[in-house]
Chain A
């Protein structure tokens, strides 16, 4: 049976929705405001005399617009999201409720310090949990996300080297398998980047690392567990050789959720690590952010941490907002407005308190158990890139597709029709045709079994040699089929412009 063509373009519950700019009722608004006092304007010469071009919609139209848009999205609330390296775990609504308490949400960053003692206590509480869990001396709370935390760590490292007469160290070592943010961050911090190779089992090659260490090396950035889902079991030795060479050990904490509550990274010899609160500590990804990337620091780096810092003086909290004074005497400065991602801290603390130390340990255990269960069961038809056990994510390569003409991308798109968000594809770069799966601890066995059934079904179908066209056409059942990314990039249309909708309408007809 073929899908009928409808006059509206809708397909049952899949409802088409024009841009807001195509729904304009001039003069309409969904926000009524109280009357303004009668005064004479004081805008000088800057009063705008021209229309802006925003469309007018009523409240019911706006609510329907966004409700329909939302229904075109996959989300962790609606289904399994095994997106490797992204940690798509359940986002408790308690976190949202806490962040909306007026005492947290309706607080201004520049109120007198005496009126925000609870807000500073919240930041201090979040910091205390992070320090206790990692065993590190200090934590810089202001980085806005993971990459920003990396920048914070490298800025501390550069400042420390300069303070110690080691300013000639201008190069950062980064494994080939690293997230793109690592080399990008190093460059943003004014460093040159050198790649170090992995060994055959997917880990940093300590001998190769040693060969790269020399007096110009400022630091080594290593993700641990690494992007292949494996723990760098030589990390203590790595820390030692790095320190012996006068460099610092930056650990990328993107995968910290696999080990949280089990060991303290201070015991691994780490000098700095960012923690993605939007991964390990369950704050929502929100379709791309916001996150928060508090960065824990060793005692060697702590003096250089950015402002602001929360300081406890007796029973009172203070905020050190200026570099060069008090606790921030050697601080390298400010890297984010205000007090960091406060609303994200509230959500993370809500989660930490709910989980407790015992719950966090159980969470990393279940995350690793779930990943190994996928690794074991999927190995029946698929080809693991590395020997297990893995940590919180399992990576497969595309050897199982050899000779089928079906690619990793095709498998991913077919999974969409199975009702699953595809795993991370083609990353890490060191694995050919990689499928990186991170189930997280918040999935039930029934969900994992359903996914395994879908995945094995697709792998068998791909190998059968009879379904190539079906794979190439996938997805068939999603709100949109494969989109033309080449067209989007060759002649970029990055905004709506008046009249452009007519052409789109014609195309749809």
Chain B
């Protein structure tokens, strides 16, 4: 059964078993504007929750994408560096950044669900 969770840094993670797919949210891509550059992590990299995992840049801003959970990267989205605009057009689908094997499923409990994240964004606006 899959579920999606969100961070305060506007990453989403979609869980399937012990594998999570991570990207940035619709809200985040809207804030950044046209994405011009993306750097995704290589498979095998181990990351702690909240650690820098990827980079996303627009013309005037650069942001780190933090991993919502601890674990080992299984795959970076190889299509993304050549087509960074995908993050704008489909941030929560084809614009995913990396897949990670979670080392501690309990970490998900600290993340927001869809409703909580929507409320969080509404307060920011």
Contacts and interface: CB of A to CB of B under 8 A. Distances in A.
Contacts of A485: 59
B124 to A, nearest CB: 14
A425 to B, nearest CB: 10
Contacts of A494: none
A490 interface: yes
A207 interface: no
Contacts of B36: 486, 489-490
Interface of A: 485-486, 489-490
Interface of B: 34, 36-37, 57-59, 84-85
A489 B84 CA distance: 11
Most interface-central of B36, B84, B85 (chain A CB within 10 A): B36
Contacts of A489: 36-37, 57, 59
13 contacts: A485-B59, A486-B34, A486-B36, A486-B58, A486-B59, A489-B36, A489-B37, A489-B57, A489-B59, A490-B36, A490-B37, A490-B84, A490-B85
Contacts of B57: 489
Nearest to B34: A486
Most chain A CB inside 10 Å of its own CB: which residue of B57, B58, B59, B84:
B59
Nearest to A489: B36
A486 B57 CA distance: 11
A486 B59 CA distance: 6
A489 B85 CA distance: 12
A486 B36 CA distance: 6
A490 B86 CA distance: 12
Given A485-B59, A486-B36, A490-B85, 10 more contacts: A486-B34, A486-B58, A486-B59, A489-B36, A489-B37, A489-B57, A489-B59, A490-B36, A490-B37, A490-B84
A489 B32 CA distance: 14
Contacts of B84: 490
A418 B37 CA distance: 35
Contacts of A490: 36-37, 84-85
Nearest to B33: A486
Contacts of A486: 34, 36, 58-59
A490 to B, nearest CB: 5
A485 B57 CA distance: 13
A490 B84 CA distance: 8
Nearest to A491: B36
A489 B56 CA distance: 13
A489 B36 CA distance: 6
A485 B36 CA distance: 9
A490 B57 CA distance: 10
Nearest to B83: A490
A489 B34 CA distance: 10
A437 B58 CA distance: 26
B40 to A, nearest CB: 16
Contacts of B34: 486
A490 B36 CA distance: 5
A482 to B, nearest CB: 12
B33 to A, nearest CB: 8
A400 B59 CA distance: 26
A486 B58 CA distance: 8
